[in-house]
Amino acid sequence: MKKINIFVLGLATLSLAGCKSLYGTYERPEVKTKGIVRDPINAEATLEGANDFGLLPWRNVFTDPNLQAIIEKTLTNNPDLLNAALNIDIADQQINAAKLAFLPSFALAPQGTVSHFGSHTEATKSYVLPIAASWEIDLFGKLRNEKKAAQMMLIQLQDYKVAVQTRLICNVANLYYTLLMLDKQNQIVTDMASLTKNTWEMMQLQMDYGRARSTSVQSAQSAYYSVQTKATDIKRQIREVENSLSLLMGEPVHGIARGTLDNQSLPTNFSGGIGVEMLSNRADVHANEMALAQCFYNVQEARGRFYPSLTITGTGGWSNANGLVNPGKLLLNAVAGLTQPLFMKGKIKAGLRVAQDQYQIAYNKWQNSILTAGSEVSNALVAYNAAEEKNALYAQQIDILKKSVEQSQMLYKQSSSNYLEVITAQQNLLNAEISQVQDQFSKLQAIVNLYYALGGGSK
């Protein structure tokens, strides 16, 4: 008896020592955050606080009614988003099951037997109508940690749905602005085609009067066809972007109603700090942290396997005791079983080591996602500032090239310039105008990418 008491006392002491590690609650560990965002001007800057831009509802950022209609259709019909919602429902059912694990389970298992010995003996009829119950007592947090891990998985899937929504919104916006950029480039190319056609006709007239050679006409004709080739490429790209937008909306490919590039207006006030709070607003970063929390509870559950488990089982029902008692009487039975693992071929120890390694992997992934988010914010900021600076330069360049085109044509008519100067001036103007439109798009794209990098689009 004394030995049994010592064993029970030792088991209780061991249990109390392990309770802290088995019933712990996840707390955010230390993570590298200093200098995660580089200032677009200074070499490095650490910004603190939250950024309001990433918290704006997407309708306040993308105000073009045509774009809003496309985004709303995408959020309603996109299969990736629909599947994300279904995965959340699956996880929610698993959570409900984990909550009910604390309650006993009941099962009805009726049995009946007919026994007959020889031809002259009466058959013996026996029956049992039992209700069996089983109840696992959560002594060392196994059920609690399973429930917590399931809750973290549900949050992960909710974050995944938000991440899918954010990505879809920003992808739609970038494709829409690409379409507007191509429309404007197509208009520029169409205007330049008309200009090069006039130059071709002018040089043809000059040759008819003997004031120009055939090579000038051929060069002007070649420049015209070159511009026409650009127009064909742009029209192809427009059709491809429309098809991509239709696919995101879950619809057959079709034309897209849209506005113009010059009428777009996006927020440009990005003041406010950028820190861990901002990065946690990103659904993918938060999902990685919830994966870490899930691994934390998996480690606690793995530790709990070293401790004994207590299960209470009971049955109650009517029985005629193999035909001896008729009618049957109520039979009750209760058993408590304590199971302490002693030698499990290293499986429990290996399971704990695996859970600990998975926790470290999840931590590394979370840390890297924070650094990646900071890098994306930095890239978006520097792209925006570069586009702003280039836009002013392109405006000056185009103003000069327009004058160059006018003057070279005038000089050619006066025989004070050769045809190559006219064609070269026109090509330079076309390239500069195309680049300026590309820069306008890059500026819009930088704002969209910054919105995504700050975790926008959740509302």
Q: Which residues of 284-316 are buried (b: 16+ CB within 10 A; e: fewer)?
A: bbbbbbbbbbbbbbbbbbbbbbbbebeeebbbe
Tell me: pLDDT of 167 over 80.
Answer: yes
Tens digit of pLDDT for each residue in 117-129? Answer: 666 666 666 666 6
Give the model's confidence band at 3: pLDDT under 50 very low, under 70 low, under 90 confident, else very high.
very low
304 vs 417: which has the higher pLDDT: 304
Give the model's pLDDT for residue 383: 86
CATH class as words, domain 31-63+168-306+355-453: mainly alpha
347 vs 41: which has the higher pLDDT: 347
Strand positions, DSSP E, 66-190: 105-108, 111-115, 124-137
213 vs 48: which has the higher pLDDT: 213
Mean pLDDT of 187-198: 84
Using alpha carbons, select from 145, 170, 146, 154 the residue that is nearest to residue 71: 170
Q: Are 160 and 283 in contact (CB under 8 A)?
A: yes
Tell me: pLDDT of 70 over 90.
Answer: yes
**Cβ count near 211 (within 10 Å):** 13
Q: Is the dihedral of CA 185, 188, 194, 198 positive or negative?
A: negative
Q: What residues does each domain of the chain span?
A: 31-63+168-306+355-453
pTM exceeds 0.75: no
Tens digit of pLDDT for each residue in 255-275? Answer: 999 999 988 888 776 654 455
